[in-house]
Amino acid sequence: MAEEIKSSGQAQQRQGDVVKGDFSTILVGVGTLLDSTLTPLSKIVAQTLDSLTVVAKQILDGVNSTLGGKK
């Protein structure tokens, strides 16, 4: 009888370990998916901001030369 109780306790512990293992596998999978999705998006955003910076500088240089020429 003591062996049955001991073995049933081990079975419950194994099931708990499986659930924890599955949950952590899901979390790792979701994290990997997010990382692989967000990394290219962050590169696109960085390139866009760099382009906007160049355009803004060109506009400001044009405005500066126009105003400087009228003085």
**pLDDT value for 48:** 95
The pLDDT tens digits of the residues spanning 33-60 come to 998 988 889 999 999 999 999 999 999 9
Task: Flag whether pLDDT at 6 surpasses 90.
Answer: no
47 backbone dihedrals φ, ψ, rounded to 5°: -65, -40
Interatomic CA distance for residues 57 and 55, integer angstroms: 5
Q: Whole-model pTM?
A: 0.48
Tokens representing 48?
A: 């866009």
